[in-house]
Amino acid sequence: MNFTILKKDVGSLARRGVLHTAHGDVQTPVFMPVGTQASVKAMSNLEIEQLGAEIILGNTYHLNLRPGMELMRQAGGLHAFMNWHKAILTDSGGFQVFSLSKLGKKNRDGIFFQSHLDGSRLFMGPRESMEIQRILASDIAMVFDECTAWPVSWDEARLSLETTLRWACESRQQPRAEGQLVFGIVQGSTYADLRLRAVEEISALDFDGIAIGGVSVGEPEKSMLEVLDICSPALPPQLPHYLMGVGTPRQLIAGILRGIDMFDCVLPTRLGRNGSAYTATGTIPVKAARYKDDFTPIQEDCGCYACRNHSKAYIRHLLHTGEILGARLMTTHNLYFFINLMRQARQHLEQGTFAPFAANIMQTYPEAKSK
């Protein structure tokens, strides 16, 4: 088995586990920093590793455009290219194609769309996506799926789901890199019958893990949690469960309560570059004028490099003067916060004290309307 459950929470679907990959074990629940272009923005591999990250993300669509698969073959895959020795999960590119295919055309084999770089006409389907991920040799490859916008009618969601299920079967049949795991993706918008059908049919394909996709696409948080409440009890318990593209600290904890093991999101890096920091008492706008002469760290008890060495006043100065170090320090802090939040969640699950810990986080971070 590629996934071992070490402890289950008595009051929820939360569980503490270990995901076994070709590049080492990943402790779950886990937050995965996003490294779209073979780099977590503003961070070196050493810094990401020192933060405690055991797995990061790469993106099939973007890496196929730049640097391209010929160079990736020469490099020996994504791990060797970026000199990262721990696990990597690659997104299938389905979400990027979804966002770029408004003027494109879909057929049974995939989707025609335009490059965001030069407008050139491109095509991607399950064969192409899985071949790219085979060359990248990621530890976990995601099947190529079709993501729907929100809101969407039931008929449109049904047709889209049928495409996703067909492409999942085709993705499952493609060659994979040695030791590469493949995860299926559950779609179906916010419709209970479609989501349950997706869980049943994706589960039957015997993937190495199962993901819930098609959330954080504009729907309110309440709708996202309703989707989780529909899907989670029906997910195969022996598989790792991955909630794609989510989210805030509150949403991560809400996901863990519903049996989710894996998360990714651009929020900590994006908000950090824009001057907002996550803390144990909520987010704070470090760029705000009130921190101009605040010589305390972003968070007093934080163990990250930024908080151990610099004040809000200094970091605010860097942000306002456009110094690259400002973005780096903010990113360092936010990623540390998210990774440490998962570390604390694992500890509380082990100790049987997850319920009060979760309640505190849910109270500290108010409901978010969307991503």
Catalytic residue positions?
A: 91, 264
Strands 30-32 and 55-59 come out as unpaired
Task: Check if the beta carbon of residue 32 is closer than 8 Å to that of residue 264.
Answer: yes
Strands 262-264 and 3-8 come out as unpaired
Q: How many CA atoms lie within 13 Å of 94's alpha carbon, on the beta-carbon side?
A: 31
Nearest-angstrom CA–CA distance, 141 and 345: 26
Q: How many CA atoms lie within 13 Å of 117's alpha carbon, on the beta-carbon side?
A: 9
- The total of other beta-carbon atoms located within 10 Å of residue 238's CB is 10
Nearest-angstrom CA–CA distance, 32 and 29: 10
Strands 87-91 and 55-59 come out as parallel
Place of tokens 């993706």: 185
- The total of other beta-carbon atoms located within 10 Å of residue 168's CB is 24
Cα torsion 61, 87, 242, 244: sign: negative
